[in-house]
A and B are shown apart, each in its own frame.
Chain A
Amino acid sequence: MAAEMIVDIAKTFPGRQPITASLKVALDPSTVLILFGPSGSGKTTILRCLAGLERPERGVIRCVSHTWLDTGRGICLPPQARRIGYLPQEYALFPTYSVSGNIGYGLSGLSSEERRRRVAEVVTLFRLEGLEHARPGELSGGQQQRVALARAVARRPQLLLLDEPLSALDLPTRATLRAELRTMLRRLAIPAIVVTHDWEEALTLGDQMAVVSNGCVRQVGPPQKVFSRPQNAEVARIVGIETVVQGRIIESCHGLATVDVGSAKLTALANDESGSDVFVCIRAEDVTLEMEGMGVTSARNRLAGQVRDVTSLGAVVRVGIDCGFLLSAMVTRSALDELHLAPGTPVVAAVKAGAVHVVPRRDHA
């Protein structure tokens, strides 16, 4: 039987929208499930229910063969009994303990010899050598994040729960640590559930993604699929990225990269090495449509293709274009009429290099 996690819970707070989450995901080692949604959507509450820090009024949580919560049978395991590694927002390191004190904090059941060995092992794994005796207040944001993750991992939990693991960091650090976190999660081989509102984080880290809004899980699936094929308008609005396709960087110099996507080539602003697999993400608003043979523009990417479908969204229209890959564009109704766009019409889609977002793809080693 495949290891899986079953969640079906309802939690209400006075004066707020009730949270109802229902999902079922396979939990293989190194699977990362993303809980994605805008702030206030209830994703943190769902994570806290999984950690046992909130008690849903009714519902069931099953992790592999353990029942953590079953209100019908009166079961609600406390956080201590769930064997989880929980990384709260802002990390919550213990100020009265050193780095190694923090990491060894949850290991009091082990002999002191075994505990020292385990702390040393995790310190090496997270490259914290030399900081063992430092206090949390003396560490940089990135170091604090590593210590908190090391502390969560030291007990060898069966599931990691990470709440916005990168949001407490400044932007440049965040980009570096995103890749680092991906490598680390893969190496740990512990399934993880990661809460985020950052779509780049979702694409970089996630194998599966659940979109949460207004307290409900709206769609579950592989991130690329959820981004490029949202089930309904609500999910589309939340994810905001209409085109997500796989590509490979074939050339990269001076911050400009050429990406092979389907049968097309795109120029993007990116520093990734050539040869690396990436997701190429383009917002539909950033795509301009023009007729064949019109003048020269500054847009680096001019892709000739054919209109595949036209979907009306009120004042604007979403146009699907087949140009070596499927690209979504958002244009106004008047532009549609002017260009006489209909399925089959040849058209040129122009995208500026800066609007082509390149996100390193999580490789499944």
Chain B
Amino acid sequence: MNWLAIGVTLKLAALTSLILVVVGLPIAYWLTFSRRRWKFLVESVVALPLVLPPTVLGFYILVAIGPHSPFGRFYSDVVGHPLPFTFEGLLLASILYSLPFAVQPFATAFDQVDRRLIEASWTLGVSRLQTFVRLIIPLSTAGVVTGVVLSFAHTLGEFGVVLMVGGNIEGVTRTVSIDIYDEVQSLNYAAAAKTALFLLMVSYAVLLLVYAMNRKVWTVWPQK
């Protein structure tokens, strides 16, 4: 089993879901509560990774962060090396790729919070931000956990985007799914089977956690 690849994968998945909490919660809040007419445009963009082939998404990300784009040039000027084929580049791609897996469960959970509770909080002098932190998030724990775990699990198994943006650098961007592909390519089925089984078990454990959490949360708060 390739422990190095497993380490890279777990690190990538953990960082991705962590950052998606920070980025995804505000996006989900805006998508749920904004009354802008063009909201659906943002909604569709967030959902794009669900339907786009990973290679297409990976291609555009590669172009966008590459040395020919303004962002890519800016990044390499500031940091000293270009973004593609580094762990940071891979992380950015993973965040974009897993965005809907975090934002959609968050937004669904926020949407189920009774508006009258939110309004009651406002009339008690509590600001919108405080209401979000003290009322909406605690009422949406199940959805937040689901979003975090789904984006974690989704990142564990990504392949196309990693290949396009990260390449295949041992210890830096070679993830478990790429390692399995490599082993199969070199007809090393035993090693591939071991790593595949490992990935299967981790993914299954993670999903068990989601469904168990959701059960628990709903039996504690059945009033809705």
Listed in ascending order, the chain A residues whose CB lies under 8 Å from chain B are: 51-53, 78-86, 88-90, 92, 94-96, 105-106, 108-109, 136-137, 151-152, 155
A95 contact set on B, CB distance < 8 A: 139, 221, 223-224
The dominant DSSP class at the B interface is: helix
**Contacts A88-B116, A94-B117, A96-B135; A79 near B221 (Cβ below 8 A):** no
- Interface positions, chain B 109-163, Cβ under 8 Å from A, are 114, 116-117, 119-127, 130, 134-135, 138-139
Contact of A86 among B123, B127, B138, B223 (CB under 8 A): B123
A155 near B125 with CB under 8 A, answer: yes
- Residues of chain A within 8 A (CB-CB) of B117 are 92, 94
Task: Give the CA-CA distance A88 to B123 in the complex, in Å.
Answer: 10
Instruction: Name the residue on B nearest A105 (C-beta).
Output: B124
The answer to whether B139 touches A106 (Cβ under 8 A) is no
What is the bound-complex CA distance between A106 and B119, given in angstroms? 12
A88 contacts which chain B residues (CB < 8 A)? Answer: 116, 119-120
Assess A90 versus B125: contact at CB under 8 Å? Given A95-B223, A137-B223.
no
B2 to chain A, nearest CB (A): 44
Of all chain B residues, the one with the shortest Cβ separation from A96 is: B138
Chain B contacts to A: CB under 8 angstroms: 114, 116-117, 119-127, 130, 134-135, 138-139, 221, 223-224
Q: Whole-angstrom distance from the CB of B132 to the nearest CB of chain A?
A: 13
Asked if residues B120 and A80 are in contact (CB atoms below 8 Å), the reply is no
How far apart are A304's CB and chain B's nearest CB, in angstroms? 54
In the complex the two chains form, what is the Cα distance from A54 to B127 in whole Å?
Answer: 17
Q: Is the CB of B126 within 8 A of A92?
A: no
> Are A80 and B119 in contact, CB atoms less than 8 angstroms apart?
no
Question: Which B-chain residue is minimally distant from A80 (CB atoms)?
Answer: B125
Q: CA–CA, A155 to B122, complex, Å?
A: 13
Which chain A residues border B139 with CB–CB below 8 Å?
95-96
Question: Are A53 and B122 neighbours in the complex by a CB distance under 8 Å?
Answer: yes
Q: Please tell me which one of the listed residues A80, A94, A152 contacts residue B127 in the complex, with CB atoms under 8 A apart.
A: A80
Report chain B residues within 8 Å CB of A106: 121, 124-126
Least Cβ–Cβ distance between A156 and chain B, in angstroms: 11
Residues of B within 8 A of A105 (CB): 121, 124, 126, 134
**Known contacts A92-B114, A95-B223, A86 near B125 by CB under 8 Å:** no
Q: Which residues of A contact B221 (CB under 8 A)?
A: 95-96
**Within the complex, what minimum Cβ distance (angstroms) separates B39 from chain A?**
18
Q: B122, B125, B135 — which one has the most chain A CB atoms within 10 A of its CB?
A: B125
**Contact in complex: A79, B223 (CB < 8 Å):** no
List 4 tightest A-B contacts by C-beta distance, closest first: A106-B124, A86-B123, A92-B116, A92-B120
Is there an interface contact between B135 and A92, defined as CB atoms closer than 8 Å? no
- Contact across chains for A79 and B122 when beta carbons are under 8 A apart: yes
Report the nearest B residue to A154, measured CB to CB: B124
Give the interface centre of A82, A96, A151 by most chain B CB atoms within 10 Å: A96
